[in-house]
Every structure is written in C-alpha cells, then in structure tokens.
C-alpha cells in the first residue's frame, strides 16, 4: 500500500512545488514506484515536469468530477521522472460538478491507485481551501515546508492550527511527518539564525535535512525536469536525495 504524502505550507513561495517534484524524483531514483498528484490549479508541478497543458487527456478536475477515470490521467515520462497526474486551471471550479461529499473526493480517487505505488505525493495549493482540505483528507502524512526567511518566524503556526481544525472536523488520522526547512541560504547569517530558531521552536518535528537556497533548483523547473536530470551534483539535488533517504528510513524499516 502506497504511503500518501501531502506537501503543504502556510503560504505560497515556501518551496512546496519544488519539494513535491524533487522529492518524488528522488523516490523514483531510489527505485520506488511514485506518483505525483498536482492538486494546484496553478499547475507548477505539471509545468515543472515539462508537461504542456494542451497535450494531456485532462486535468485532475476531470477525475474529481467523474468525467474521466483517474488512471487515464496518469502521465509516464520514464526514467528519472515520477508518474504524474496533471493539474489545470479548471481545478478552480471544484467542487462545482461533483455530486459526492466534496471533501473526500481526492481520497476516494487515490484509494484506487494506492496499490500500484510505494509513494503518492500531492502538491497542495493554498487556495481554493477545498482543494487543500481534499489533500489533507487524502494524505496519511503532511510535509510542511517553511522557508528560512524572516517572515517565517511569524505565522508559522497558522498552518498547524488550520490542520488541527480540519483533522478534528473530519476525524482524520493524518499526521505531520515533519517540517522541512527550505531556501536556507548558508551565506546569509540571518537565514542560518532563522533556521536555528525554527529548529529550537519545533524541535524534533523538523527534518534533519534542510534544503539550501540553490539556483539549480529554480533553473531545473524551467527545463521541465527534476534537478537530478539537470544538475545532479548541485547542493539542491543532494539535499533532496538526503531527504528521500531520511523519509524512506522512517517508513520502510
């Protein structure tokens, strides 16, 4: 049974999509069967894996509204890529068009695919909130990305409060697997101090691996590939491999 991970954050620009793409690809390199589900209407995971929205059978919205079976949406790009379920701007229309209990639609769909994968990673949007709730309901574990920037010291707890309300409201078993520090600029004293403060505040909830600020990570998305296919020796690539091994060690022992 595949482990379903939702990559989420308290705000945009926190490294969710970069993490969803490169953590999925790192699982693929470790020979795990992995599916990346782009649940964000902005579709950056889809674009970041080089998929042109005009050449797909449909977006997740079509499966969420029962128009296309979910497995017909799966795109397989081959070695070094995770399988992908693409998003599209039409996801903004969700839940219109669905007759089911709207918070459980994604959970029910992914239940059909779980046996085929070791990991299913969901790239989660901030908005619309109904999609964020669907991702929380579908997942067993959350990875919360927090960038090592000054403003992260304020409001970092907001996401946890939101999650607890949703968890209680829907009686979920979903747990927080860990907090991932992203965009850590090792040349900037302030960034390192913020990382230190976040580790002090959230203690053992924080993954040992932190993701450095690395231009190779932002550039790889422009090439439509995971960083391992554009600059495998970069610090960004090494950090996502280390994160994958930390997670595999946690869940496969």
Ligand X SMILES: Nc1ncnc2c1ncn2[C@@H]1O[C@H](COP(=O)(O)OP(=O)(O)O)[C@@H](O)[C@H]1O
Instruction: Report the interface residues with ligand X, using CB under 6 A.
Output: 9, 12-18, 44, 182-183, 211, 213-214, 217-218, 221, 236
Minimum separation from the CB atom of position 34 to Mg ion (A): 18
Min. distance of Cβ 167 from Mg ion in angstroms?
A: 22
The item of ligand X, Mg ion, none sharing an interface with residue 9, based on CB under 5 to 8 Å by kind, is: ligand X
CB of 183 to ligand X, least distance (A): 5
Query: Least Å distance between CB 44 and Mg ion?
Result: 5
Task: Choose between 57 and 218: whose C-beta lies nearer to ligand X.
Answer: 218
In the list ligand X, Mg ion, none, the entry touching 88 (Cβ below 5 to 8 angstroms by class) is none
By C-beta, is 65 or 134 nearer to ligand X? Answer: 134
Partner from ligand X, Mg ion, none binding residue 22, C-beta < 5-8 Å depending on class: none
**SS in 3 state form for the chain?**
CCEEEEEECCCCCCCHHHHHHHHHHHHHHCCCCEEEEECCCCCHHHHHCCCCHHHCCCCHHHHHCCCCCHHHHCECCCCCCCEEECCCHHHHHCCCCCCCCHHHHHHHHHHCCHHHCCEEEEECCCCCHHHHHHHHHHCCEEEEEEECCHHHHCCCCHHHHHHHHHHHHCCCCCEEEEEEEECECCCCHHHHHHHHHHHHHHHHHECCCCCECCHHHHHHHHCCCCHHHCCCCCHHHHHHHHHHHHHHHHHCC
> Using CB distances below 5 to 8 A depending on partner kind, what does residue 210 bind out of Mg ion, ligand X, none?
none
Nearer Cβ to Mg ion (127/190): 127
Q: Pick the closer one to ligand X by CB: 65 or 156.
A: 156
Q: Which C-beta is closer to Mg ion: that of 118 or that of 136?
A: 136
Taking CB within 5 to 8 Å according to partner kind, which of Mg ion, ligand X, none is near residue 32? Answer: none
Residue 8 and residue 138 in contact, taking contact as beta carbons nearer than 8 Å: no
| Length of the chain (residues) | 253
Q: How far is the CB of 216 from ligand X (least distance, A)?
A: 8
């Amino acid at each position: 049974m595949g482990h379903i991970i939702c990559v989420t954050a308290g705000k945009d620009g926190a490294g969710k999509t970069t993490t969803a793409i490169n953590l999925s690809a790192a699982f693929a390199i470790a020979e795990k069967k992995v599916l990346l589900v782009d649940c964000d209407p902005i579709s950056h995971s889809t674009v970041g894996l080089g998929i042109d929205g005009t050449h797909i059978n449909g977006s997740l919205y079509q499966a969420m509204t029962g128009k296309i079976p979910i497995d017909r949406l799966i795109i397989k790009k081959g070695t070094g890529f995770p399988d992908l379920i693409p998003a599209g701007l039409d996801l903004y229309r969700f839940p219109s068009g669905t007759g089911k209990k709207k918070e459980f639609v994604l959970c029910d769909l992914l239940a059909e695919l779980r046996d085929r994968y070791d990991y299913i990673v969901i790239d989660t949007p901030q908005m619309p909130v109904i999609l964020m709730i669907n991702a929380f309901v579908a997942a067993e574990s959350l990875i919360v990305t927090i960038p090592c920037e000054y403003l992260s010291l304020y409001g970092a707890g907001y996401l946890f409060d939101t999650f607890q309300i949703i968890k209680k409201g829907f009686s979920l078993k979903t747990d927080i697997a860990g907090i991932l520090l992203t965009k850590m600029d090792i040349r900037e004293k302030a960034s390192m101090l913020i990382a230190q403060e976040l580790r002090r505040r959230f203690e053992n909830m924080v993954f040992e691996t932190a993701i450095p600020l690395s231009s190779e990570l932002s550039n790889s998305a422009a090439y439509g590939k995971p960083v391992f296919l554009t600059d495998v020796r970069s610090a960004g690539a090494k950090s996502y491999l280390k994160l994958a091994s930390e997670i595999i060690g946690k869940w496969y022992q």
